[in-house]
Amino acid sequence: MRESVQKPVRPEVGLKRDLGPWSAAAIVVGTVIGSGIFLVPKDMIDAVGSPWMVLVVWVAGGLLSLGGALTYAELAAALPEAGGEYVFLREAYGPFWGFLFGWAQMWVGKSGSVATLATAFYIYLANFQPGLEAVIVSIPLPVGPEGGPLELRWGQLLAIAVILLLASVNYFGVRFGGRIQVAVTLVKLGLIFAILAIGLGSEQGSGANFSSAIAVPGGAAGFFVALVAALWAYDGWNNVSMVSSEIRNPQRSLPLALIAGTLTVATVYLLANLAYFYVLSADKVAADNRVAANMMGQILGDWGKNAVSIAAMVSIFAALNGSILSGARVPYAMARDGLFFRPVSRVHPTYHTPGVSILALSCWATVLVLSGRYKQLYTLVIFANWLFYGLTTASILVLRRKRPDLARPYRTLGYPVLPFLFVLGAASVIFFTLRDSPRESLLALALILVGIPFYFLRKRR
């Protein structure tokens, strides 16, 4: 009779806390400041008509985002686990709501953000290579921009290549990805502040430009159309909570990163728009979505325009890296709990990264790159994300009652008024986005609702 031999148990491979406070702050700033600062002022002026109203919208978007960051700071410090909102919603409402958020991030929110940023990258690169905008083939299927035919451009192929490149970078270690995030964010901020200094100090600027205007319907509808554009530019302030389990001393680092990062971004955006409208009148901002490049082109000529295009690509590159780094942790957390495909929960034994999740999210983002143009993509993302931002912020009210014993190193300033106002703001954004952009909103909603039968099938198994 042969003696049975017990196989040694292999230790479980997990994520490592390799991100310091600078990396955490760089994820907030570097992910948020991406393409929006360079592209959305055109959409905003088209909606509200005057520079002063554009600035009001930027302030409103900044206050909304700061309100969310103050609330998320308490949640992230109390529950520093991989997955961010997935964990907060699971603890407050149960696994179904955590799953629905994770599903939305995988198929719409984070993958859509990656696709939008990659699209913006090739828009600015087209300043040097106009042929990137050329259509290679047009497929007569109503799944393209605004329900039109599916058009494949050279620029979209480039965007796909950039996504896959950064997916590879983050596959080989969170410390490596974090260091790239810090370095590129510092370069990005240096370039942006140089552009703003040149714009605000230009002799070609005039305070009279702030009194210029273009004819638009305006009103509440215009305000919320502009606000959606601004919120896309602010989107990503929550990303650092998704990598909570890989941050050293998260109880202290997470609140600091969320609050300081959001305040930094709001300051940069206001200064940027002051510079734009100091140099350009309302009609010139409305003429082209490359507003920063046009401002520098008016001051310094073609070389200034080209310099801004390079700065924009550096900025977008950093935001893309941060989005892939943080976003892949959500499907990973969901799969680890048995609510998503099991291979997505695998952690690489050498690099300690959720490699399968990184590749899955990035590959789906490459598909979304083909589905729409820049504005359609960011509208899709904002509708999906703000559904869950509102629900997550409300969870702080639930957890204060449900888990009074939970250690809370940081408590939300202005509780409960601030979370309540944020939820009202989120509801308004969702309503007006659905009314003004029904195609993108309903598409996002459909992709989210598909997850419901999937959840119950997984639960039964």
What's the confidence (pLDDT) of residue 3? 42
- pLDDT tens digits, one per residue of 37-86: 888 999 999 999 999 999 999 999 999 998 888 888 888 888 887 677 88
Q: What is the rounded distance in angstroms from the CA atom of residue 194 to the CA atom of residue 174?
A: 30
Q: Is residue 2 part of a domain?
A: no
Q: What is the mean pLDDT of the chain?
A: 85
What's the confidence (pLDDT) of residue 38? 87
Q: Is residue 293 part of a domain?
A: yes
- pLDDT tens digits, one per residue of 265-310: 999 999 999 999 999 999 999 988 889 888 999 999 888 888 888 8
What's the confidence (pLDDT) of residue 363? 94
What's the confidence (pLDDT) of residue 177? 64
What's the confidence (pLDDT) of residue 5? 38
DSSP secondary structure letter of residue 281: -
Q: Is residue 9 part of a domain?
A: no
Residue 171 belongs to domain with CATH number: 1.20.1740.10
Q: Is residue 16 part of a domain?
A: no
The first and second tokens of residue 417, run together, are 């008024």
What's the confidence (pLDDT) of residue 21? 67
Q: In 3D, which of 225, 241, 244, 249 has the Cα closest to residue 383?
A: 225
Q: Is residue 15 part of a domain?
A: no
Q: What is the rounded distance in angstroms from the CA atom of residue 8 to the CA atom of residue 4?
A: 13
Instruction: Extract the residue ranges of the chain whose pLDDT is less than 50.
Output: 1-12
Q: At 82, is the secondary structure helix, strand, or coil? A: strand
Q: Is residue 149 part of a domain?
A: yes
What's the confidence (pLDDT) of residue 2? 41
Q: What is the rounded distance in angstroms from the CA atom of residue 104 to the CA atom of residue 416?
A: 27
Domain extent for 315: 21-404+412-460
What's the confidence (pLDDT) of residue 329? 84
Q: Is residue 311 part of a domain?
A: yes
The first and second tokens of residue 251, run together, are 């109880």
Q: Is residue 14 part of a domain?
A: no
What is 112-156 written as a DSSP string? Answer: HHHHHHHHHHHHHHTTT-GGGGSEEEEE--TTSGGG--EEEEHHH
What's the confidence (pLDDT) of residue 158? 93
Q: What is the rounded distance in angstroms from the CA atom of residue 155 to the CA atom of residue 128?
A: 12
What's the confidence (pLDDT) of residue 1? 43
What is 382-449 written as a DSSP string? Answer: HHHHHHHHHHHHHHHHHHHHH-TTS--SS--TTTTHHHHHHHHHHHHHHHHHHHH-HHHHHHHHHHHH
Domain count for the chain, please give it. Answer: 1
Q: Count CB atoms within 10 A of the CB of residue 202.
A: 17
